[in-house]
């Protein structure tokens, strides 16, 4: 049986008279054309003043001037009072504030106070996880 699109179509097996749309809807594009791509993901560009209004789990990119000194933390990854013979591994992360929101980059982010940085990251409830940053001299990516 050859199918011809029409408003009235009855199913040959069950006999129901359901209407069939003449054209299929276009597949939904999950990103806008204005999004920026970084490391295989798409980030929504915003102004730094909008960071408080961004929902949790939103991936954003913005330009920011570092206002305070970043703190680089270096901590061992084993629990204290654990006496098993192991190799010591150290976790390094960088923390600073963006408009009162704690920002974390897992790794050494070598930026200084007053430096202009383009930041890619994900806003979580009370903190901002940085996926990457770009200064005039370097690009930092976390994998």
Q: Output the domain CATH number for residue 55.
A: 2.40.50
Position 9 in a domain: no
pLDDT over 80 (residue 38)? no
- Structural domain includes residue 19: no
Cα(99)–Cα(109) distance, integer angstroms: 18
Residue-level pLDDT at 128: 92
Dihedral sign for Cα atoms in the order 100, 73, 118, 60: negative
Burial class (CB in 10 A: 0-12, 13-18, 19+), 137: exposed
Q: Answer whether residue 4 is part of any domain.
A: no
pLDDT(76) > 50: yes
Q: What tokens does 88 get?
A: 């010591």
Query: Residue 83: how many CA atoms within 13 Å on its side-chain side?
Result: 1
Confidence of residue 118 (pLDDT cuts 50, 70, 90): very high
- Number of domains present in the structure of the chain: 1
Least confident of 20-24, 36-40, 109-113, 119-123: 20-24
The whole-model pTM stands at 0.66
48, 40 Cβ separation under 8 angstroms = no
- Would you state the pLDDT for residue 30? 46
Containing domain of residue 74, as a range?
24-141
Which of the two residues, 4 and 101, has the higher pLDDT score?
101
Q: Is 12 a member of any domain? A: no
């Amino acid at each position: 049986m050859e199918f011809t699109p029409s408003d009235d179509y009855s199913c040959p097996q069950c006999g129901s008279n359901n209407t069939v749309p003449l054209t299929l809807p276009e597949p939904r594009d999950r990103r806008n054309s204005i999004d920026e791509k970084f490391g295989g993901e798409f980030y929504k560009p915003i102004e730094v003043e909008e960071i408080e209004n961004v929902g949790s789990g939103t991936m954003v990119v913005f330009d920011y001037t570092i206002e305070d000194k970043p703190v680089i933390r270096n901590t061992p990854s084993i629990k204290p009072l654990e006496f098993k013979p192991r190799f010591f591994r150290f976790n390094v992360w960088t923390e600073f504030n963006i408009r009162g929101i704690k920002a974390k980059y897992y790794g050494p982010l070598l930026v200084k106070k007053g430096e202009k940085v383009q930041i890619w990251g994900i806003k979580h409830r009370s903190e901002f996880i940085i996926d990457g940053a770009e200064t005039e001299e370097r690009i930092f990516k976390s994998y």
